A and B are shown apart, each in its own frame.
Chain A
Amino acid sequence: MRNTAAVAVEVTGSEPVAFENGRASLQTWRAFRREPLGMLALGILLLLVIAAVAAPLIAPYPPSYGDPVLASPNPQHWFGTDSLGRDVFGEVVWGSQQSILVAVAASAIAIVVGTVIAVIGAYFRRLDSFVSVLVDVTLSLPVLPLMILIAALVGPSTTTIILVVAAFSWPEVTRLVRSQALIVVQLPYVDAARLMTTSPLWIIARHIVPAVTPVIVVSVVVTASRAVLSAAGLAFLGLGDPNAWSWGRILYEAQQSGAMSSAWWLTLFPSIAILMLVLAATLLSVAYNDARNPRSRRR
């Protein structure tokens, strides 16, 4: 489901900012701090990360079974229990680890691969048309069905999910970064750098990558949040990692046990967790974009 939904946010509306120095970053941060939605989003993200890291301190790892089964939320079990009597609160807290891991790892891979391809394409102009065709063609592939196919054939595990999600997320990154990088390579200071050194690697690392960093920051957030939804979707279809708790697995088990409509707590809490993560990530990227762009900053 919805793989591109979040992309459009940053496609437009931001204009090329040649490079950001320390002063610009500071200005961005000042502007950002005045965006209440952005600050709220940042707070939620931090909270979720803390929950993931400190899971052992917050709740015991869900046991293999417990009693009573399908209990509604109560003082002992804040989020109720599932069809094997396990504590849903514990599942959600521990599930945040895998969900956030998938998000971070998949987007990290996608960003690295996507940026490298984009920058190389932009710098070595002869490769650029090949890169753009590759990106276009890959973007036209039906992503979710392909993910289902691969996950089903390879066998579901956290690694598979990370790789599959990353494999279909990089073209979007390449597309964004490429458009920015194409502008940067034509700027006078890059030409000047070309005169000073013969090492393309040095120019790319020193001048081009820093200039595209803002675009990368935005796409990290967007790719990561999309990865969470994709992973949850795969898990819901029975292609999640059966050995680790994730939000998608809680929903999948609720679905398998036919309890989604009667035991609302099984669906509600993991869904809210997913919602919060994706929502916060998206709002953060919107706010960051607004803050970074001097023209759209509020006075």
Chain B
Amino acid sequence: MSRFLFLIPRLGRGVLTIWFAVTVTFLLLRLLPGDPALAIASPNMTEETRAILLKEYGLDQPLIVQYGIYLWQVVQGNLGVSFTQSIPVFDVLMQRLPWTLLLTGTALVTTVAVGIPLGVLAASHRGRFLDRLVQIIGVTGQSIFVPSIGVLFLFVFGLMLGWLPIGGAYDQDAYGLAWYGSVATHLALPALSLMLVQLGSYVLTMRSTLIDALREDYTLLAKANGLPYRRVLWRHALRNALLPTTTLIGLQLGFLVGGAVLTETVFAYPGIGRGIYEAVTQLDFPVLQGAFLALAITVVVANMITDTVYGFLDPRVKKA
């Protein structure tokens, strides 16, 4: 049990992070220019209609009052009602959040699954051709502009070869097992694109930490003890080299969840990043506030999970 105790200060920091995100969003929306009434009504709306709308949204009240009301509602778990869709913000978010989690989760898992072996390969062939090749692939991947590669993928796999569907998250007319199949085929290209752009960080982190770990005393000792190289590499060096990778996952997941806007746009994937972009174009304040809150919570939770995993991996944390 004690190994979870270190999470308590983390929890406090998590709450602070969430409060910060909520406040930043709240203030940005209200202090920057932009009139939500205009975004909703048709352009030839009267001044009267506009006043009614602003009053209805509570935007005619002083800023501090709005902020107080909003925070109180959030604490109670009430995210408000969407300006443009007239339905609860929670429902709006839940229509999209699961797909984003599926997309980013899959991308993350495959990235780690591919990135770690590649990093090991590069580290164990340091300075040689394979090392260079792996580095170049990794770095090229993360320098790619997603929409460009996205359209290329769609053109090749969707149109020319016809292997994979274009756009959406599943087939309308698929049921049962076939439905899962269609989810997988729709997921393939967007997840591949996301994986390509992230892969570099994992490969390079893995490579450099592993190179360092292989020089550490304990691995040298293990080698001196006559353990086979592969065993030293996979059991001793890798275990320590995984720590920075875990940190990296925690750091990236948050960015990924909100940051897949471009991928979701090109692949017509129904995720929350695109939802945020649309809410921006509609100036739907409650949805934006709710979405940023959801993203902040995702990041905090993801960080807590990685901290826990870190605790399992790193023996030093147990003592603390």
Contacts and interface: CB of A to CB of B under 8 A. Distances in A.
Q: Is A in direct contact with B (CB under 8 Å) within the complex?
A: yes
Interface of A: 1-9, 11-13, 37, 133, 136-146, 148-150, 152-155, 225, 229, 232-233, 236-237, 251, 255, 260-261, 267-268, 271, 274-275, 277-279, 282-283, 286, 289, 295-296, 298
Contacts of B276: 145, 148-149
Nearest to B241: A12
Interface of B: 13, 16-17, 20-21, 24-25, 28-29, 32-34, 127, 132, 135-136, 139-140, 142-148, 151-152, 154-155, 159, 197-198, 200-202, 204-205, 208-209, 211-212, 215, 244, 248, 251-252, 254-255, 257-263, 265, 273, 276-277, 280-281, 288, 291-292, 295-296, 299-300, 303
B262 A282 contact: no
Given A2-B198, A8-B202, A271-B145, A145 B291 contact: yes
A12 B209 contact: yes
Nearest to B291: A145
Contacts of A4: 201, 248, 251-252, 255
24 contacts: A5-B201, A8-B204, A9-B205, A11-B244, A12-B212, A13-B205, A137-B20, A140-B17, A140-B300, A143-B258, A144-B258, A145-B277, A146-B25, A149-B28, A150-B28, A154-B33, A225-B143, A233-B262, A237-B262, A261-B151, A275-B145, A286-B204, A289-B208, A296-B211
Nearest to B16: A137
Contacts of B252: 4-5
B262 A1 contact: yes
B142 A282 contact: yes
A268 B159 CA distance: 18
A127 B162 CA distance: 59
> Which among A136, A143, A153 has the highest number of chain B CB atoms within 10 Å?
A153
Nearest to B288: A149
Contacts of B136: 37, 283
A7 to B, nearest CB: 7
A155 B32 CA distance: 10
A6 B141 CA distance: 10
Contact of A136 (B17, B211, B280): B17
Given A142-B295, A149-B28, A153-B33, A1 B146 contact: yes
Nearest to B143: A278
A143 B25 CA distance: 12
Contacts of A152: 34, 280-281
Contacts of A282: 139, 142-143, 200
A286 B139 contact: yes
A141 B33 CA distance: 22
Given A142-B254, A237-B277, A286-B204, A3 B259 contact: yes
B296 A143 contact: no
Nearest to A134: B20
Nearest to A276: B143
> Which among A1, A141, A148, A268 has the highest number of chain B CB atoms within 10 Å?
A1
A133 B16 CA distance: 9
Nearest to B258: A142
Contacts of B254: 140, 142
B155 A261 contact: yes
Top 6 A-B pairs ranked by shortest CB distance? A13-B208, A142-B258, A278-B143, A153-B32, A271-B148, A8-B201
Contacts of B144: 271, 275
Given A2-B197, A145-B259, 11 more contacts: A2-B146, A5-B142, A13-B208, A13-B209, A142-B257, A142-B292, A145-B261, A145-B292, A237-B265, A261-B151, A261-B154
Given A140-B21, A141-B296, A232 B145 contact: yes
A255 B170 CA distance: 25
Given A145-B258, A237-B277, A279 B13 contact: no
A143 B259 contact: yes
A22 B303 CA distance: 42
Contact of B273 (A9, A145, A279, A298): A145
A6 B142 CA distance: 7
A12 B24 CA distance: 31
